[in-house]
Structure 1
């Protein structure tokens, strides 16, 4: 904004003689507005006339100026007076921070009250009073329990003050500054809502010094197998396992929410897919075969939803046999492409050439007769046209030359050759080509758009059925412009099943292998690089089933914490299973000892939070976040993130309870959070930083899933991981004591008291001491107003206070 301020200052200096002359002439109010204020707004600060409303009527009168931004949203009310009418009780010419009810601005009180009233009627937060010489900016409405007249404002006593402090003046009145909320930042500073100074933070256990604990021997032996069957889904090439372990589902609460977002904001022709029978896709294939009209299907699902596995399983196991026999499936996996992204289309065409040849032709490579069939139109043209004489006199030479001709065409014009293969499959074999372009999401939007255009361009060659699995993020991104908007397609949303069903299916797969022929079972695993005994597999399956399948709490919590992303859910399960905290040795040995040993919630939480380390560390744990952590350079209220999650959870609950059809009802704008917490004395910078941290840690989501950095204009909602974190904070003793040990503390005494309790093994005391410290620091950095608007915040704070008085928690 530096250049714009400098340019505005130059414009002001050019107008300075005219403005000073007008102010000296003691004009009436109308002339003051015309010759002074209009010139300030339109010439110096370059407000657009369509954004400034003069004399708009209200219930109590007419506003002199109503400044608006965006879709005519009120930004500021300006009450104008004639020059000389406003005489602040001060001799200074310096810009001042003044109390609105104080003696300095007492002569301005009638104008202040009038501006406040107009602002209140129009829902405008900021107002100004001016006679062209004196300027007073202030908040016209408040949410912090203070009466507006008990607040403070920024006063420019005279025109000389404006010139001398022009940069600050611009940031209070310039349109771009208002859009960036700089005017509110200045008024927040006036009210004392600044960012606290940096502080030193001490740790009971420094999370940066976390070290790995020794894993139980049996758990080490199980690790490789566990990773094979319960994790690394994105890299796993065992198609048999993935297909057999696929969980059919038609609905889920989270899928309903995601689907509704897409329907309302992106695509109105998308519906949830029943993955068990997939009747919708079968009907589409039958329609293409009957009408001979191509169809493109967008298979939409979140990252890790199992889209690739679903497609494989659909064509190999689900699709009715009579339809399957009429289909030729060619799958182009873009995950295998690692060269220049700009060359993705030629590479995809070569992949199609290879796969279609293999599917359409009886031999590999294709025989001469098959190639002649593919190029039959070309064969007829040459044999009856330009090469007719050769055809009739020397068939052998004609065949040689034609063979050279089609080989050159195959190599130099693969795109044309692919189209001929598609046409030959349809006309010569009466087959429907089903093309799958998989894993396009790893490429930038322009590359994805090119692949999508390629898929549609092939429809002109022959009837084809194309499936493009993409994530919900890609749908949002490509729907704004490009091929996704230019071409028609039918869209289906792939729901994600519960974690219990996912893990249960894999346990059953493992047990099925164990029940089979021992030699065949061992051969199956040895081909994948494992040296195991069948009995070991049985023990592993029983142990996993006992921990995850038989324990509804554990599997349900994994689903929420992983945001129903299959890959993340399996990684969390792996983390729990392989942690030394779980003592998997004891659980497995209980199979033989007769004494039943299983995991419990406390042990599970320790395994989840600590993993394989001796303490919690966010650096090595992408699934668990420390909700009490503050930035030592700009320390805010330590419960700020917790408050934001609490509000968003209640917002989501209300939207669901009210069956609100507008998906935005579950979201809050970041700007609303800023305004809300400004009423509690929390600076905008701290609120925005807290929202960004929650977003980066995947505890909240933006309405548009492609947002990388949330801004004031974005709307956010709580994710399932955020709900899980609230559950941890409010009900898990392990979470509280672990955060108490690794959270930065700015009081040596508090740190030392927690450390003493740690050495004595008194974990009840650790939790109590830590929470009391958090409440003390939080109360010093945030003031929750005692009015109904902040009732949820009051409730959230009281919930933490209750936790400090609870006794009898299970000691660790």
Structure 2
């Protein structure tokens, strides 16, 4: 890692502490704590304590430990943890005793992963670089590394040359022998590792990172490779895996035949991660005139304009009281910090983001305060499209029924049902049997296949999670009645906060089927088209949302006629539109006041 990368890491890395990260009502779903499904998983989650425990493993004398496995959810910061540990958790003197060989498997092809000779040779080249002071490629060093084998040959097949004192011939044979041996990557690295340990007082520490970015069978291969290398090289191997894959494999052959020391990497607070990155940009960049291209999008920035952009964004996120934008980012992503950062990137690059306006030195003064939440969510939801299509968007439409269903409220009721169960349980993390959920919904008129289908759509978008951590793996795992589930941080935010935002409802209008012909014609008539700049008439937008709410109110009236006497969960009878109407009332008043001021 070069000095520039070290500077960024030192400034931007956020350590985890044993403190409450969020003040949400349901704090349990904001806890990214070590799983309890395996006794090998260390219960520690404080970054400093995890550093200490891993470091103690690294420097245990006369002992080759089991491989260390670092598990965590997708995007929780496993790579950042590893890099911070290597650069800031180990001193230069300690690095000397434990040379760190960092291997990023995201750079490997599938063929590379399965080619053991390639992997060993790759490791050796890295060892040569890290231990360059030892001159491992020099002939005199190679003679020491293979001294036992050379001695044996001098005592048998080369004995006649030793007896005759034919030094030149002997040296020639030794050189040819060594030249042949160094072409055997596995054996040669074993010899080098042995030399480092016994002659130099250095034990190798290999870090296998980003294995969880590969396909499952390749991850399995790397897991097994870590165990074999630990034994063959008498060294330490640290491997990062997603906790979902570890859960899937832990009791299956051949993984149950191996023992590993397992640590859970807990996601840090999202807001602190984002704040540090923005501050780093503001404090370390000159902001000269520059053109930026990401994918198929290009933006030109004049000198100083980018600074103004990030200053205005920082103010909107961290200086505005109870920033709705920041709540949206952290609550629709945590503990996947990477996903939250990608949403922020989408906002910056969206065709609907008023970048030029936000870069204005006058922006934020007078009546124009901060970045409106509705502008932010529109930019994230639409990216560069004109209209909202939830199937292609980062935003989920809770009012869109599944293919078998025509009820706009099923997804919402399922989330509210789970939320009530979590509240009533009083536990940090509890999962509920799908069979019980389905039974309760069938009692009020649903069919089993519709409930399961809607649950699968919620699971696909991470609004609910399963007890087998299947949301943390790449395969599309289907929920069935034998599954156990609970509401996620994302699902809770949608059901409690986002659903009562007029900006969210406005997006959903264009993506929700309208089952009343008169309402459909009415909404089609008042729905405003975009002008050439992508701007739509604000008063007609609000009128459209109000019409949509009125339609939903009518449909909910039909929905609430279902029999509910035998159900105990309030989510089944909750008056959703009444809740939404109370939430949007103030927003409508504020917008209408604004419209009155400009006419």
TM-score clears 0.5 = yes
Query: What does residue 408 of structure 2 align with?
Result: 638
Determine the structure 2 residue equivalent to 1:678: 442
What is the CA-CA distance between 1:685 and the residue it aligns to?
1.3
**How far apart, in 1, do the equivalents of 2:543 and 2:182 lie?**
77
* 2:33 counterpart (259, 278, 284): 259
Task: Please list, as runs of the form range in 1=range in 2, the aligned pairs for 1:62-81 lying within 5 A after superposition.
Answer: none
Change (3 A) 1:609 1:309: same
Contact 2:270–2:334 (8 Å) recurs in 1:
no
1:697 paired residue number: 461
| Residues 214-266 of structure 1 deviation map (CA, whole Å, 9 limit, x = unaligned) | xxxxxxxxxxxxxxxxxxxxxxx967645642211135567984535x21x23
Residue of structure 1 in register with 2:381 after alignment? 609
User: For the residues of structure 2 that align with 1:486 and 1:709, how far apart are their CA atoms?
Assistant: 29
Aligned mate of 1:600, from 372, 396, 400: 372
In 2, Cα distance between the equivalents of 1:731 and 1:475? 38
Report what 1:184 is aligned to: none
Distance 1:808 1:313, change over 3 A: closer
The 1:394–1:522 alpha-carbon spacing in structure 2 relative to 1, beyond 3 Å, is farther
C-alpha distance in 2 between matches for 1:533 and 1:338: 41
Task: Tell me which of 749, 757, 768 is aligned to 2:518.
Answer: 749
Alignment partner, residue 311 of structure 2: 542
Confirm or deny that 1:785 pairs with 2:563: yes
1:311-348 per-residue CA deviation (whole Å, 9 max, x = no partner) reads 12211222234423322111222111124377243332
Q: Structure 2: where are the runs of 5+ without partners? A: 22-26, 471-475, 529-536, 593-599
Which of 137, 141, 152 does residue 366 from structure 1 map onto? 137
Shift in Å at residue 671 of structure 1? 1.7
Deviation at 1:484, TM superposition (A): 3.7
Describe the superposition over 1:125-179 as per-residue Cα deviations: whole angstroms up to 9, x where unpaired.
xxxxxxxxxxxxxxxxxxxxxxxxxxxxxxxxxxxxxxxxxxxxxxxxxxxxxxx
Counterparts of 1:49-198 in structure 2, within 5 Å, are none
Q: Contact (CA 8 Å) 2:401, 2:410: kept in 1 or not?
A: no
> Does the CA contact (< 8 Å) of 1:636 and 1:781 recur in 2?
no
Compute the RMSD of aligned alpha carbons.
Answer: 3.2
Across the two proteins, how many residue pairs are aligned to each other? 555
Residues 374 and 424, structure 1, Cα contact 8 Å, conserved in 2 = yes
Cα distance change of structure 1 residues 442 and 768 upon mapping to structure 2, 3 Å threshold: same
SS in 2 for 1:432: coil
Distance 1:446 1:416, change over 3 A: same
Q: Please, what TM-score do these two structures have when normalized by structure 2?
A: 0.83
Distance in 2 of aligned mates of 1:333 and 1:435? 11
The answer as to whether partners of 2:462 and 2:488 remain within 8 angstroms in 1 is yes
The residue aligned with 1:485 is 256
- Whether 1:711 and 2:480 are equivalent positions in the alignment is yes
2: CA distance, partners of 1:709 / 1:344? 34
Query: Cα–Cα, structure 1 residues 713 and 258, in superposed 2: closer, same or farther, change >3 Å?
Result: farther
Cα offset for 1:619? 3.6
Shift of 1:536: 4.5
- Residue of structure 2 equivalent to 1:302: 73
CA distance in 2, matches of 1:450, 1:611: 38
- What SS is found at the alignment partner of 1:635? coil
The answer to whether 1:768 aligns with 2:536 is no
Q: What residue in structure 1 maps to residue 177 of structure 2?
A: 405
Deviation at 1:510, TM superposition (A): 1.5
- Check the 8 A contact 2:70/2:264 in 1, yes or no: yes
User: Alignment partner for residue 721 of structure 1, among 490, 496, 501?
Assistant: 490
TM-score when normalising by structure 1: 0.63
Larger gyration radius, structure 1 or structure 2? 1
Q: d(CA) in 2 for partners of 1:675 and 1:786?
A: 13
**C-alpha distance in structure 1 between counterparts of 2:435 and 2:391, whole Å:** 30
Among 90, 106, 113, the residue aligned to 1:319: 90
1:283 Cα deviation (Å)? 2.2
> What SS class does the counterpart of residue 47 from structure 2 fall into?
coil
Q: Distance in 1 between matches of 2:97 and 2:193?
A: 14
Give ranges in structure 1 of 5+ residues lacking alignment. Answer: 1-236
> What is the match of residue 54 of structure 2?
281
Task: Determine the C-alpha separation between the residues in 2 that align with 1:418 and 1:724.
Answer: 52
Structure 2 residue 186 is the aligned partner of structure 1 residue 415? yes
1:300–1:492 CA contact under 8 A, matched in 2: yes
Q: Is the 8 A contact 1:435 1:465 kept in 2?
A: yes
1:501 to partner: Cα distance: 1.1
Deviation at 1:467, TM superposition (A): 0.7
Alpha-carbon distance change, 590 to 764 in structure 1, aligned in 2, over 3 angstroms: same
Q: Which segment drifts farther, 326-335 or 776-785?
A: 776-785
> Structure 1 residue 648 and structure 2 residue 418: aligned?
yes
Within 1, Cα distance between the matches of 2:226 and 2:443? 54
